[in-house]
Amino acid sequence: MKKYDIAAFIWPSYTGREDRSLIFWPDGEGEWQSVRKATPKFEGHMLPRIPQLGYKDEALPETMEEQIELASSHKVNVFIYDWYWYDRRPFLECCLDDGFLKAKNRDKMKFYLMWANHDAGYTWDKRLAGGRDVPVWLGSVDRVQFDIVCDRVTEKYFSQPNYYKIDGKPVFAIYDIDNLINGLGGVEQAKAALEAFREKTVKAGHPGLHLQLILWGERMHNITGVDGEHLYSSEIAKILGFDSTTNYQYVHFVNIDRDYNEVQADVLGFWDKFASLGVPYYPHVTIGWDNNPRFNMFRPGILKNNTPENFEKALVQAKDFADKHGVNLITINSWNEWTEMSYLLPDNVYGTGYLDAIKRVFG
């Protein structure tokens, strides 16, 4: 039987152990604060969603031991940790370092990093969210900071025995290619920086580095870091030497304010487009979208009818796509995005329904 790697993104904000997180979530429990205080914005709006496992600190090893058992028993075998670097230092590493990596059963799961190099703004702060999203920290970095980031992840994470690899090469995903290019000063500078990153990885004893680009659809990108000429995502991926592509969320490339089945029909077309870009594409399945828990006012744009049954249909389509294109990695949004209403963890509405769907399709 073919083996599939089912990788779910993790948003590492459900802890108060990161001092800088108090800027956004002063109650001292991370974004659980927003989850607890979510209110329905219209009749039938199912908020708040209540986690069946409780509002637990995900920077504790015993919390992640419970979640690892749940994930691995339902055929989710990879966690993709959102990883942050703001103001010359990491942000929210504690969930990975103190929770997952210290879990006694960590060997049951692989993990890799997605550098979430977007700007951090008022959206994370419910007191301010909804107005102008003023950046608190910029996600772009110059070459000096980029090299520090590369050294850190290579030395600290790529050497972990359960770090996820493709063809023996540690996988490292980059979320915002525009921010990367702008910070480094243009496409040529970004290409040189990524080549240096590969060299660092080889010197550290690995056969190479597998760079993964998070696609936001086929869109235009600024190649100078300032203004002027632009390139499409397909050209950027090849020029910068990315080894694969996937997505983070449907909301990045389709209109999600519709029925799940209608959205999924459009997504199938995008999968074909992404697979034709000249770089291997790993299919992505999103569970849902509704970021109203982050706001006091109503935010339009909600993915509707995203039941476990419809999610299971999308998984079958992703499996068929993977078989057709000879790939075995499927990414899912997400393991725990409670404030965007896209998570596999069991809740008070569907229980373990989404996890059970994965087990039925891939077990």
Query: Which among 278, 281, 184 is positioned nearest to 238, based on CA atoms?
Result: 278
pLDDT of residue 228: 46
Residue 6 has which token pair?
């089912």
Host domain of residue 249:
5-362
The domain total for the chain is 1
Give the 3-state secondary structure of residue 37.
Answer: coil
Under the banding of pLDDT at 50, 70 and 90, the label for residue 236 is: confident
- For residue 230, pLDDT over 50 is answered with no
pLDDT digits (tens, 9 = 90+) for 243-263: 999 999 999 999 999 999 999
pLDDT at 219 over 80: no
Q: Which two tokens stand for residue 331?
A: 């990414």
Angle at CA of residue 178, ends 5 and 201, nearest 5°? 50
Q: Mean pLDDT over all residues of the chain?
A: 94
pLDDT category, 237, cuts 50, 70, 90? confident
Q: pTM for this structure?
A: 0.96
Q: Are strands 220-222 and 230-232 parallel, antiparallel or unpaired?
A: antiparallel
Q: What are residue 87's phi and psi, to 5 degrees? A: 55, 45
pLDDT recorded at residue 130: 81
CATH of the domain at 150: 3.20.20.80
How many percent of the chain have pLDDT more than 70?
A: 95
Beta-strand pair 220-222/284-286:
unpaired
